[in-house]
Amino acid sequence: MSGLSVDISHRVGAFTLTAAFEAPGGVTALFGHSGAGKTTLVNAVAGLLRPDRGQIRLGDRVLCDSAARLCLPPHQRRIGYVFQEGRLFPHLSAAANLAYPARVTGRRPDAAATARVVEMLGIGPLLARRPGALSGGEKQRVAIGRALLSAPELLLMDEPLAALDPERKDEILPYLERLRDEAALPILYVSHVMEEVARLATSVVLLAEGQVVAAGLAEVLFADPDLAPRFGLRQAGALLSGQIIRHHPDGLSEIAVSGGQLFLPHVAADPGTRLRVRIEAQDVILARDRPQGLSALNILPAVVVAVKQGQGPGVIAQLKVGEDLILARLTARSALALDLVPGRHCHAIVKSVAVARGDVARF
């Protein structure tokens, strides 16, 4: 089965959604600020609304085609939907909630599939408990498990962490990473939180005012200086792929990236683990020559690819570091003083403590 293909338009009052994109395997994040059209779009994919025009395909199956007057109802789409709140049946145990999809379809519960989902989501100790005795993060894990046990060909997740406090979000994110890597089905993930998208997404669809502004691989879009204002200048940052080399006695982990080594606060993973590291543009300092006598440990040779002037006194510089692209946010005065032009060699400096724990993830 291949991924999801969407090409639709739909009007709701004064708001018009026009969206065309492809969502391959892995996690495709629908990212945009509130009111951008994310939930309208995901509801159209789920079959909860019928778009005015266009087509939605999942693999070789047509879910909706306005020209052919075809629009499958939700129960025929083979789509699992996880909402902001788990929406578990309060009178049923976690185990009974997991068994519900088989019960309503008349299928015999698949014990092996249930065991795999329970192990992947770490919900074994929760099975005998009812939703009222579960934390928010635990409820969401059970809700995800229930959606997976409906044997879906696509999983929709509409801001599944929005109702959780930071501690519960930290609890559930590793399970979402594992779901992405092991579930073997496309996931459409709705969020307006940059950290979640950077940590989970393999591809991104960027929405603004009902329009698709850009769509593509996460590492490409995050490193595009033209899109930095869309993501938010204070949140703009690029993604580096790396691998843990070793952990040092002083509490730092050494990460190999294509342009050199990064030293970060201890990463709780074994040497050899593949990582994705998000580095915010505002945390990158540039120098023409390699600086001496600095406290910063991460000094990476770089080449300027592009420099984009903002509306105010700032600019965004796109830099190539090894095989990766990163962004640096600085003033136009500094860019002029450094003579930052495409092709200019320089050094990118990143403080170890500037990279937050949530910006480092298995990938």
DSSP-assigned letters across all residues of 248-293: -TTSEEEEEETTEEEEEE--SS-TT-EEEEEEEGGGEEEESS---S
Do residues 82 and 160 touch, judged by C-beta distance below 8 A? yes
Output the pLDDT for position 225.
94
Q: Clarify whether residues 213 and 140 are in a common domain.
A: yes
Output the pLDDT for position 107.
77
Question: 138-161: per-residue pLDDT in tens?
Answer: 999 999 999 999 989 999 999 999
Unique residue bearing structure tokens 């599939």: 113
Output the pLDDT for position 130.
95
Q: Clarify whether residues 177 and 257 are in a common domain.
A: no
Whether residue 227 is contained in a domain is answered as no
Whether residue 229 is contained in a domain is answered as no
Domain CATH code at residue 83:
3.40.50.300
Q: Which residues of the chain have pLDDT under 50?
A: none
d(CA 252, CA 3): 39
Domain that holds residue 348: 237-362
Whole-structure pTM value: 0.91
Whether residue 232 is contained in a domain is answered as no
Whether residue 228 is contained in a domain is answered as no
Which of 5, 89, 81 is CA-nearest to residue 47? 81
Q: Clarify whether residues 24 and 90 are in a common domain.
A: yes
Q: State the helix-helix crossing angle for 111-121 and 136-148, rounded to 10 degrees.
A: 150
Q: Clarify whether residues 70 and 216 are in a common domain.
A: yes
Output the pLDDT for position 183.
84
d(CA 360, CA 102): 37
- Which domain-ending residue is among 222, 252, 281? 222
Whether residue 255 is contained in a domain is answered as yes
Q: How many domains does the chain have?
A: 2
d(CA 226, CA 216): 14
